[in-house]
Amino acid sequence: MGFLLQNPLLNLAHTSGSPRITAFSGYHRKCNASAPPNQVPVQGRKSTWKQSTKSDWASEFRSKSINCVLSGTLALSLSLAGVGIAEGKTGVNKPELLPSEFTTVIDVAGFLSDGQENRIAKEIDALEKDTGFKLRVLAQNYPDTPGLAIKDFWKVDDRTIVFVADPTFGNILNFNVGASVDLDIPRSFWSRLAGKYGNMFYWKEKGEDASIEAAVMAIGTCLREPVGSNNCSEVQ
């Protein structure tokens, strides 16, 4: 199973026959990370801690638990195991929310206009032809999501990026990245992308649709860059 170099959201269980997927979210704490009740991890350093008040830690823990619930729907869509985290909530499997015909963009939340969906779908098609990587976009409001059902619908594999746009818990941008993509794209790119276009100030001012379109364009630019030490160093 792949993992984030910095602040992983969730390590997905990798079972035989399933793609290796790494989950990235706008929230950057490891779901199963533990800390003393008066300490929180220092970003970017695996085993270093900084002092915090108990109230700060409680707030961090609550936010972490809530976002793990979200990751249960995002990451769960790419695994066969259910995840029940925080307040007994579990991952979602609602195939009835899937469209009747195949599409690379599923907008169950109604964030996008028909024209925007078409533009994004065309960019995704062009990106797959140019790079061989498969970008898939799901716009949702948890728990109204197809959840598990998208795994088979999209035939998610190691060359797939599942981009889930969900503003429910703050940052709207969440990504599940296949192992082959992870080899070519710096892991820091996804957190920087979420920080730029997924933060609550951005999407509340410009709209969820603007965040989604900006993220898709930035991913396309990144994936088309030659692989090297500086690829995807800037979020366009």
pLDDT tens track for 105-135: 999 999 999 999 999 999 999 999 999 999 9
Integer-rounded Cα radius of gyration of the chain: 17
* Pairwise pLDDT comparison (235 vs 75), residue with the higher score: 235
Confidence grade of residue 198 (pLDDT, cut at 50, 70, 90): very high
Average pLDDT over residues 56-64: 43
Most confident of 3-7, 57-61, 88-92: 88-92
Q: How far apart are CA 133 and CA 111, in angstroms?
A: 24
Domains and CATH numbers, the chain: 10-224 (3.10.310.50)
Average pLDDT over residues 70-93: 43
Q: Please name the residue that has the structure tokens 């997924």.
A: 198
Handedness of CA 150, 154, 158, 163 (dihedral sign): negative
Tell me, what's the pLDDT at 128? 97
Strands 21-25 and 10-11, by their bridges, are: antiparallel
Confidence grade of residue 93 (pLDDT, cut at 50, 70, 90): very high
pLDDT higher than threshold 90 for residue 25? no
Tell me, what's the pLDDT at 231? 85
| Residue 147 DSSP label | B
* Pairwise pLDDT comparison (112 vs 234), residue with the higher score: 112
pLDDT tens track for 35-53: 444 443 333 333 333 444 4
pLDDT higher than threshold 50 for residue 180? yes
**C-alpha closest to that of 33 among 8, 63, 56, 1:** 8
* Burial of residue 77 (number of CB atoms within 10 Å: 0-12, 13-18, 19+): buried
Q: What is the pTM of this model?
A: 0.69
Confidence grade of residue 234 (pLDDT, cut at 50, 70, 90): confident
For the chain, the average pLDDT equals: 73
In which region does residue 217 sit, left (phi positive, over 0), alpha (psi from -120 to 50) or beta (all else)?
Answer: alpha
Q: Which residues of 164-203 are buried (b: 16+ CB within 10 A; e: fewer)?
A: bbbbbbbbbbbbbbbbbbbebbbbebbbbbbebbbbeebb
Do 157 and 19 form a contact (C-beta atoms < 8 A)?
A: yes
Average pLDDT over residues 224-229: 90
